[in-house]
Amino acid sequence: MNNWNDGYVFDIAYTYGYYPGMNPARLPLAFAFHGLRAPVVQTACELGFGQGLSTNFHAAASGTRWWGNDFNPMQAGFAKELAAASGSGAQLEDSSFSHFCRRSDLPDFDFIALHGVWSWVSEENRAIIFDFIDRKLKPGGVLYISYNTQPGWSAFMPLRDLMVQHTQQAGNDEQALPTEARIDAALDFAARMFDTDPVYAQANPFMRDRLKILQQQGRDYLAHEYFNRDWHAESFVRMHQRLSQSGLQFACPANYADHIDMANLTPAQRQFMQGMDDPVMQQSVRDFMVNQQFRRDYWVRGGQWLDDRQRVQALALQSIVLLTEPDKVPLTIQNVASEITLNRLIYDPILQALSDYQPHTLVDLAASLAHRNLNLSQVLDSALMLIGTGHAAPLPTEPADDARAEIARRTQALNVHLLKKAALAAPSSIEGGVGHLCSPVTGGGVPVDRIGQLFLLAYLEHGEHVDAWPALAWKYISAQGKKLVREGIRLEGEQENLGELATQAQLFARTRLPLLRALQVV
């Protein structure tokens, strides 16, 4: 390696995102839908965990033992802080792939996860990761891997390379600017180039809109997503060639929305693909159909197939729970090519049945809705869509009583820690941007925005005395120099802000809090 960071951006912290595809609790439903038996995940590993939010949630909210690494000491420090707060025992370290992946004391793993990492590391590190998967993934084990892919990135790649060239040139100056400033300069350079109407822009007119979107995105996100030295957009067939050498086969997409061809492909596209027996060719063609930019996939080493009876039984017994209040679930969804409207005659009764925020098996849902002429197949497709759009979650296998109590204790400790960090974070601090809390019911993360987190902190201090919540929330918001915005207008006065917080607090207590209590977030 040329230097300690091996060409990877390190002076801007990565975003604090939560990635549900890395939750092993999502495997059984996805696998059963495609006729496969999911393994029991007792040991798991995330390579390049970034800020470590996903790993810590999944370690705290399950009985799975987690390991992981990230090369950035600042990011690893935050991840280890969360592990200590929850007491999950997650073994997280700041080290390079070359060090971590060659450790002799690591166990074999049922589940290995890489989110985006494959697209942003050198070929040398790819070889190290590939060797690690080959040696350490158990028979029957699952690999989650997400990566930039063709053909969706094909037109953008020359522009990305040009902007990186610009940042590198600026970085070689005697008075080198920090990464954020160099990204700003590169974006401005690209915009001025587009103003000259180059033939590239004429041939790829949508690149103008892509550049405008980039200009509006956070520089911490752009730095890691586009401005690393190494950046790859890999085809599905190339990924298959690499992983099949270690006996891995493609299992299914990790993104639940991708399971439903009816929602993503036109009738002509579906008919065209029905004639393909080769799953590798089918996935490659599908990437062209949807102009795929980013794949999230599960691969399995020696997958076990279910017969028809076993598959139906596994699907029927899978439980799901809502993550969003029913009246806030949109029934109009933007897919890759168009906008689709979900059938209210199907979704309204399903959302109503789930509105008690309790887990429901798919077979029980279908039985309770038989009088609405809904069958198990329709309930299954609706569940996949709700999960894929982030409004529901599949549930993990019920833990033993003693394990359940320990999992609840860990998630509560982790959530309280995150709530306190959200309250005390400086305005520019990324801790204030953690947008999820942990649920022992789902085994993973649940969206809770900043204001919601402050209301939860007030709930912990004042109970259901909602009138006391706004003052506590305002204390932390005002201390950070922040003010609320209502209908696009910034509220300047303290009383205006308190009045808006009072309105939001009542709404939160009436709608969101019952859901979060049912999910045991608080």
Confirm if 103 and 121 have CB atoms less than 8 A apart: no
Percent of the chain with pLDDT over 70: 94
Quick one: average pLDDT of 318-328? 96
Nearest residue to 86 (alpha-carbon basis) of 52, 66, 51, 61: 61
> Strand, coil or helix: what is 77?
helix
Give the tens place of pLDDT for each residue, 256-265: 989 988 888 9
pLDDT at 6 over 60: no
- Report how far residue 252's alpha carbon sits from residue 32's, in angstroms, rounded to the nearest whole number: 10
Nearest residue to 114 (alpha-carbon basis) of 139, 89, 97: 97
- Report how far residue 137's alpha carbon sits from residue 15's, in angstroms, rounded to the nearest whole number: 28
Supply the pLDDT for residue 176: 66
Supply the pLDDT for residue 425: 65
More confidently predicted of 10 and 28? 28
The whole-chain average pLDDT of the chain stands at 89
Quick one: average pLDDT of 218-227? 78
Which helix H or strand E contains 436, and what residues bound it?
Answer: strand 436-439
Quick one: average pLDDT of 364-390? 94
Supply the pLDDT for residue 150: 86
pLDDT band of 172, cuts 50, 70, 90: low
Quick one: average pLDDT of 288-296? 93
Helix and strand element counts for the chain (H, E): 23, 18
- Report how far residue 39's alpha carbon sits from residue 303's, in angstroms, rounded to the nearest whole number: 9
Q: What are the residues whose beta carbons fall under 8 Å from the beta carbon of 2, sequence distance 6 or more?
A: none
Percent of the chain with pLDDT over 90: 66
Angle (deg, nearest 10), helices 279-290 and 267-274: 160
pLDDT band of 7, cuts 50, 70, 90: very low
The pTM score is 0.89
Which segments within 16-104 are labelled E, that is strand? 36-37, 43-47, 65-70, 91-94
Ranked by mean pLDDT, the top range of 179-188, 210-219, 258-267, 299-308 is: 299-308
Quick one: average pLDDT of 394-422? 90
Domain architecture of the chain: domains with CATH: 20-151+233-307 (3.40.50.150), 157-226 (no CATH), 319-394 (no CATH), 401-518 (no CATH)
More confidently predicted of 11 and 39? 39
Least reliable range by pLDDT among 14-18, 25-29, 385-389, 418-422? 14-18
Q: Read off the tokens for 394.
A: 């599949």
Through-space distance between the first and last CA atoms of the chain, rounded to whole angstroms: 45
Quick one: average pLDDT of 264-285? 91
Supply the pLDDT for residue 5: 47
Supply the pLDDT for residue 489: 81
Give the tens place of pLDDT for each residue, 108-143: 999 999 998 998 888 999 999 999 999 999 999 999
Give Cα separations from 464 to 120, 456, 469, 475, 504 (angstroms).
47, 10, 9, 19, 14
Give the tens place of pLDDT for each residue, 159-170: 888 988 888 876
More confidently predicted of 8 and 302? 302
